[in-house]
Amino acid sequence: MISPRIAVVGAGLGGLTLARVLQVHGLPVTVFEREPSPDARSQGGTLDIYAGGGQTALDRAGLLDRFHALARPEGQEQRILDEAGTMLRHWEPADGDASRPEIDRGQLRGLLIDSLAEDTIRWGRPVDEVTGEGRVLFRDGPSEEFDLIVGADGAWSRVRPSLSKDVPAYTGVTFVETGFDEARHPELARLVGNGSMSAYGENRALVAQRNSNGHIRVYAAFRGPQDLPASEVPAMFDGWAENLRDLLRHADDEFVTRPLYTLPVHHTWEHTPGITLLGDAAHLMPPLGVGANLAMMEGAELADALAAAADPDEAVRAYESVMLPRSAHLARLTTDGLAALFSPEGAKGALRFYDQVKGPQ
């Protein structure tokens, strides 16, 4: 049997997992990535990769042991505060608990990249669009044809328009990112602990997450206009506890504004032979600990389906029949979660969300 020609657009976690598991099955694959190299930009903060989610995908990829060698189980610690700095919830992992360890996104991406056969990823190959005839059109250079094109190219996917007219919409919540090094601000690092700390007030929050190498990322998040100048954000936290405000006042990094966008909760499309989507390209949702795990699971599931089926279209149909309803369910949960975390109720609304997903302390 001739192996199908498979193209993955996007070298994010979902697309890389798909490529890795395909290669585990002995199937050829080509990944097209618009960025010129793996280190072209920062890959963002830390992720909790949970058992039954991303860890299952990594197991299918044969990378679970290497993941645990890099992951930080102590990073599962989580602290919830109010704007006065009062500790409301404090979850700490038990000894030996590795159910949701943290890992830097860049470290996880690097693990997946290093696991692929040489020349699997074509760096600096931005895709403009794909057609229903299995053709990938590039910004520069000739087009190429494939039996299956998988859009794993994130929120502003160039593959999605071939299947859906929906585009991401602003949620009303913006995150402004900064950070600091523990060595320069040990007292702030103690406030954060080994994992993450989140403090909630009316329609706003301060979130700090410990990354590797003693760096801590900080997010000032608020419900409001997405074009608010970052310089105006610290004043939004006037009246909060002084040590919480210090997370912004003593930041070492520049402020970077990151508005949150989502696709419709029940985003779907009519099945089209030769094209499908995974991850944020398929179901962009609020970043509440689901997206990376879901994208990796989808990559592994699609690869397994392609390896097992004689017809690639049969495999894609089976994959979409599971992926679409599951992602709609999780999109509803995370959308409702975002509404609870950024509400006029402040910490009370946030606690309802956390007690629902983690259980009351």
DSSP 122: E
Note whether 54 and 179 are same-domain residues: no
Contact at 8 Å (CB) between 288 and 44? no
Amino acid at 326: R
pLDDT 10s digits, 197-227: 999 999 999 999 999 999 999 999 999 999 9
CA distances in angstroms from 84 to 160, 237, 300, 343, listed in the order given = 44, 11, 44, 17
The pLDDT assigned to 1 comes to 60
Alpha-carbon distance 328 to 317, whole Å? Answer: 17
Mean pLDDT of the chain: 95
DSSP 84: T
The pLDDT assigned to 40 comes to 80
Q: What is the dihedral of CA 80, 107, 152, 144, to 10 degrees?
A: 170
What are the two backbone dihedrals, phi and then psi, of residue 305, each rounded to the nearest 5 degrees? -65, -40
What is the distance of C-alpha 192 from the center of its chain?
22
Note whether 12 and 105 are same-domain residues: yes
Tokens (6 digits) for 80: 């919830």
The DSSP line for 285-329 is ---SS-HHHHHHHHHHHHHHHHHH-SSHHHHHHHHHHHHHHHHHH
Burial group, residue 335, by CB count within 10 angstroms (0-12, 13-18, 19+) = middle
Q: Tally the domains of the chain.
A: 2
Note whether 24 and 76 are same-domain residues: yes
Alpha-carbon distance 328 to 265, whole Å? Answer: 6
Note whether 137 and 57 are same-domain residues: yes
Note whether 127 and 66 are same-domain residues: yes
The pLDDT assigned to 39 comes to 86
Task: Confirm whether 59 is domain-assigned.
Answer: yes
Q: Does the pLDDT of residue 275 top 90, yes or no?
A: yes
Note whether 142 and 276 are same-domain residues: yes
Average pLDDT of the segment spanning 160-182: 97
Contacts of 166 (CB under 8 A, 6+ apart): 160, 263, 264, 267
Burial group, residue 319, by CB count within 10 angstroms (0-12, 13-18, 19+) = buried
Alpha-carbon distance 265 to 253, whole Å? Answer: 34
Task: Confirm whether 94 is domain-assigned.
Answer: no
169-181 and 46-48 as β-strands: parallel, antiparallel, unpaired? unpaired
196-199 contacts, C-beta under 8 A, 24 or more apart = 196/46, 196/75, 196/77, 196/78, 196/79, 197/78, 197/79, 197/80, 197/81, 198/78, 198/79, 198/80, 198/81, 198/350, 199/80, 199/81, 199/82, 199/83, 199/85, 199/240, 199/241, 199/244, 199/347
Average pLDDT of the segment spanning 191-196: 97
The pLDDT assigned to 143 comes to 94
Whichever domain contains 129, its CATH number is 3.50.50.60
Task: Confirm whether 89 is domain-assigned.
Answer: no
Whichever domain contains 232, its CATH number is 3.30.9.30
pLDDT 10s digits, 10-46: 999 999 999 999 999 999 999 999 999 988 877 778 9
Average pLDDT of the segment spanning 268-278: 97
Alpha-carbon distance 273 to 162, whole Å? Answer: 11
Task: Confirm whether 92 is domain-assigned.
Answer: no
Q: Does the pLDDT of residue 181 top 90, yes or no?
A: yes
Task: Confirm whether 181 is domain-assigned.
Answer: yes
204-210 and 215-223 as β-strands: parallel, antiparallel, unpaired? antiparallel
Note whether 200 and 231 are same-domain residues: yes
Q: Is the pTM of this model over 0.85?
A: yes
Note whether 275 and 211 are same-domain residues: no
Note whether 12 and 159 are same-domain residues: yes
Domain extent at residue 38: 6-84+101-168+263-341
Q: List strands edge to edge, sheet with 127-130.
A: 127-130, 135-138, 144-145
Task: Confirm whether 1 is domain-assigned.
Answer: no
Tokens (6 digits) for 106: 């860049």
Note whether 252 and 268 are same-domain residues: no
Q: Does the pLDDT of residue 90 top 90, yes or no?
A: yes
The pLDDT assigned to 44 comes to 79
pLDDT 10s digits, 330-341: 999 999 999 999
Task: Confirm whether 42 is domain-assigned.
Answer: yes
What is the distance of C-alpha 175 from the center of its chain?
15
Note whether 294 and 279 are same-domain residues: yes
Note whether 244 and 302 are same-domain residues: no
Contacts of 211 (CB under 8 A, 6+ apart): 45, 46, 104, 179, 217
Task: Confirm whether 91 is domain-assigned.
Answer: no
